[in-house]
Amino acid sequence: MKIISLEHAVLDDCVEEAQHERLVITRDGKPVALIIGLEGWDEEQIRLGGSEEFWKLIAERRSQKAIDREELERRLGN
């Protein structure tokens, strides 16, 4: 993560830098913005990455007990 003050920030340079690491912009020494590079991402990845509902769903699924492939196939009758 790189930190740069707003008075020294050049948008084009910040966008380029953000493709390699997160960039925190500060004003008077306090963080005011976070720039994250999205080059190579598609619209769905961007939308889901910022969705609180999506991440709640992921957390719920991760907390559930998993079954192995053999058990899944047994349940499906394969």
Paired tokens of 66: 């998993």
Domains of the chain in start order, with CATH, are 1-40 (3.40.1620), 42-78 (no CATH)
Share of the chain above pLDDT 70, in %: 100
Q: pLDDT at position 49, please?
A: 87
Cβ–Cβ < 8 Å for 74, 66: no
For residue range 28-56, what is the model confidence (pLDDT) as tens digits? Answer: 999 999 999 999 999 999 999 889 999 99
The identity of residue 49, as a single letter, is: G
Q: Return the higher-pLDDT residue of 78 and 38.
A: 38
For residue 66, CA distances in Å to 7, 58, 75 come to 50, 13, 13
